[in-house]
Structure 1
């Protein structure tokens, strides 16, 4: 049986690495070139995405949201110098999240989420994972738009492409070595 929150998180990891791979193909200045968009630079967008992913990881692993938000705020302001640094940071966080996902026996359990902006809410862990993925999709879309504003093509990172790539990889693996 498919565990959809885990599958969606795997998509999120793949999509992050896909957009970062595209940015690596472009001149290094793309990371810090200012544009008129939701974020002043691609680096700012990536820092925000990383900070929020980190915050939700902390919430999922037992930290209260106010504390997790406070702890992740400096990450939002920390602008890294290279795409490789972002790729490494996202990869390391993804590895931690994968370990947690494999060890969490019940993603449908509810926690009391104390959101400083919206108040208290009973929320399933699976809902938080899906929100994290949705948030990432939204901001990867921002990055794609920013790249286009700078005169560069983005890269397809749709969930449907992830399906087909996973299917192709599984088929290639089943044909043996």
Structure 2
């Protein structure tokens, strides 16, 4: 049995967890998705927009663009779009990620990451992917809390749920 790089396995979990949560948001429709709320973000759509922008930012960085250049790339503001449109945008981005991670980069390569807020650090591309995954987990938790605050149940996106999920 060939084992996939752990970072790719975790990225696949990230995709599954986002898809699972986004499917729930589609069920609740756009009035819940765009509803203003006093919480960690002003609306769920703002959280999802932030997640998309960050996922896109790290795609560029993992592709070899410097952090300063990646921060200058025009960000697609997504918070006013429908959840259905956002799901398609994430899918397109994740298709590009899959090609990048499976065919174009060495995930064990160590590069210098130079962030404006923390400075320079040597890190592997796989560590960057792991950061992306944990960032997504953090914000899926925000969304779950916001849904509960609005009186709606969320869905489970724990890693163990992914392990046992029927993903066929």
TM range (shorter): over 0.9
TM-score (normalizing by structure 2)? 0.94
Residues 12-27 of structure 1 mapped to structure 2, 5 A cutoff: 12-27=14-29
Residue aligning to 2:71: 69
TM-score (normalizing by structure 1)? 0.89
Point out 4+ residue stretches in structure 1 off by more than 6 angstroms: none
Residues 53-68 of structure 1 mapped to structure 2, 5 A cutoff: 53-68=55-70
Q: Which runs of 5+ in 2 are unaligned?
A: none
**8 Å CA contact 2:29, 2:83 repeated in 1:** no
**8 Å CA contact 2:20, 2:157 repeated in 1:** yes
Residue aligning to 1:40: 42
Distance 1:143 1:32 in 2: 12
**8 Å CA contact 1:66, 1:115 repeated in 2:** yes
Residue aligning to 2:52: 50
After superposition, give the CA deviation of every residue in 1:80-130 in whole Å (9 maximum; x if it has no partner): 321101101110000000000111352111111111110011110000000
Residue aligning to 2:145: 145
TM-superposed deviation, 1:71:
1.5
Query: For the aligned residues, what is the CA RMSD?
Result: 1.4
Which is helix-richer, 1 or 2? 1
Compared with structure 1, are the counterparts of its residues 169 and 32 closer, same or farther at alpha carbon in structure 2 (3 Å cutoff)?
A: closer
How many residues were matched structurally?
Answer: 166
After superposition, give the CA deviation of every residue in 1:64-90 in whole Å (9 maximum; x if it has no partner): 011112225x33x44232110110111
Residue aligning to 2:159: 159
Which secondary structure does the structure 2 equivalent of 1:114 belong to?
strand
